[in-house]
Amino acid sequence: MQVEAHRGRLFKSWGDGFFAEFSSTIEAVSCAVGIQRMVAAEARQKDSARLQLRIGVSLGDVVVQNGDLLGDGVNIAARLEAMAEPGGIAVSGDVMAQVRGKIELSLVDCGFKRLKASDAPIHVFMTRSQPATMGAFLDIDDDALRKTLITGGCLCGKIRYEINAPAISTGYCHCSICQKFSGSAMSTWTAFPASAVRFLGEEPRYFSSSPIAKRGFCPTCGTSLTYRLVRPRKAAYLIVFTPSLDEPKGYAPVAHSGIESQMPWLEILDDLPRTRTRDSRVLQQAWSSVGLPDAETWGPLAVPKEVF
């Protein structure tokens, strides 16, 4: 059996499902690939309807109790399995980091997903079905293509955009510039590859909110739309303010930044990571490129010197 062949241990099983534990992440993913290939080969040999399995692989501490396998790693694997396509494999970001470049398996970055309402989002990678054989020139299913696009826009609707790549990351920003720009105690953002973002019709109006970045907004309704670093060069990613997405619920923040400017009356109840602006290597490089050590020494953000 594939599990034993990859030095794994089979635990709880039910119907056509089971849990297995491996001491090696590479062995675990190799086993998943082997199982899917074996099932597909058997279906071809028998020329019958293919039994399609879903497999989820996660990395985490587990414990054995009364012959059962328990722990967050097990729970996450089960939820990843439910997300996978029939005949496919879904893995967590931690697993992907361990196997990247070491296993011949094409995995698509599906961004950060909240696997359960009470869970913190995790980075998910999945195999995807091969595209169907194309017919005549440009016989492409437009409806299917539209479903793969991420869309959004401003409040008045004059500015619309579409994105054809998964999110890179998400977060809250408490910095004082984001507070001013959003008119709120913090902003929520989602980063995408800049090359994947396309504006339809009207373009945003841009404002240089600091010497290192510019922000896009709708000049008609004032909706905050984008943020992009421009120093020391244009960033390869574009930040979209999450509420401007048509479906923002799937992009839960995974960290707090700019925490030094957190409003004293705002109580943060989650346990997400929290960082100061000066902790960001990228931002420090950007400020250094304009001859300043950090945001706190620039114009409107300058911290006044103490008077004795």
Q: Which domains, from first to last, does the chain contain?
A: 2-127 (3.30.70.1230), 146-297 (3.90.1590.10)
Note the pLDDT of residue 148: 55
User: What pLDDT is stored for residue 134 in this prediction?
Assistant: 39
Q: Give the position of tokens 């984001």.
A: 178
Q: Which of 169, 130, 131, 162 shows the shortest CA–CA distance to 147?
A: 162
The token pair at 140 is 């492409």
- pLDDT for 71 equals 81
The HSE-up count of residue 48 (CA atoms within 13 Å, CB side) is: 7
Q: 308 is written with which tokens?
A: 């004795």
**Residue 308: which residues within 8 A CB-CB, separation 6 or more?**
none
User: What DSSP designation does 270 have?
Assistant: S
What pLDDT is recorded for position 140? 40
112 DSSP assignment: E
Residue 172 to residue 188: CA distance in whole angstroms? 5
Asked if 241 and 183 touch (Cβ cutoff 8 Å), the reply is no
pLDDT score of 101: 80
d(CA 266, CA 256): 13
What's residue 41's pLDDT? 80
Helices of type H across 104-175: 142-147
Predicted confidence (pLDDT) per residue in 85-114, tens digit: 888 899 988 898 888 888 878 888 777 777
- pLDDT of 296 reads 65
| pLDDT attached to residue 215 | 95
Rounded Cα–Cα distance for residues 191 and 101 (Å): 24
What's residue 123's pLDDT?
84
pLDDT, position 300: 58
Q: What is the pLDDT of residue 49?
A: 59
pTM: 0.54
Please give the average pLDDT of every successive group of 10 residues along the chain, which has 308 residues: 82 76 90 87 69 87 76 86 87 87 81 67 77 40 55 94 88 92 94 90 91 94 94 91 92 90 92 86 87 68 43
State the residue for tokens 């925490």.
259
pLDDT tens for residues 140-168? 444 544 445 789 999 999 999 999 888 88
Asked if residues 61 and 26 have their Cβ atoms less than 8 Å apart, the reply is no
Interacting residues of 298 by C-beta distance below 8 A, sequence separation 6+: 210, 211, 287, 292
Residues in the chain, how many? 308
Residue 8, SS3 per DSSP:
strand
